[in-house]
Amino acid sequence: MSNIHNEMALENLYEIAIEEDKKGSIDGEINRIAFETGLHADDDRDDILQKIAEDRFELYDSAPNQDPTLKELEARICACGELIEKCPDAYEHMTQGA
């Protein structure tokens, strides 16, 4: 993956996190990051969303034999905000909404 590609993927993941936050679907994740980092869930919202994007990006980046396209990155996040491979009810969430 090129650096530009990395930056685009990270930016894309950040945009996804913002959208998920608007829908209220990642409150649990936001609270977890706030707890772990000491950031404030409301005051430091942008920083937390950025951290969520970075965490997700690292997960993708550490996955072997993968050079995912942006579309694939997007497709790998369940409607509930979890990665599809981590979500126990991915099929239900993706077909019915989280």
Q: Which of 1, 15, 87, 95 binds Zn ion (CB under 5 A)?
A: 87
- State in angstroms the smallest separation of the CB of 77 from Zn ion: 9
How far apart are the C-alpha atoms of 3 and 26, rounded to whole Å?
28
- State in angstroms the smallest separation of the CB of 32 from Zn ion: 16
Provide the H-helix boundaries in the chain.
3-23, 27-37, 45-62, 70-75, 90-96
76 binds Zn ion (CB under 5 A): no
The interface region with Zn ion, picked from 7-15, 56-64, 65-73, 74-82 by CB under 5 A, is 74-82
Return the axis-axis angle of helices 45-62 and 27-37, rounded to nearest 10°: 100
78 binds Zn ion (CB under 5 A): yes
26 binds Zn ion (CB under 5 A): no
Query: Which DSSP string corresponds to 46-60?
Result: HHHHHHHHHHHHHHH
Which CB, 51 or 76, lies closer to Zn ion?
Answer: 76
How far apart are the C-alpha atoms of 78 and 41, rounded to whole Å?
22
Q: Which residues bind Zn ion (CB under 5 A)?
A: 78, 80, 87, 93
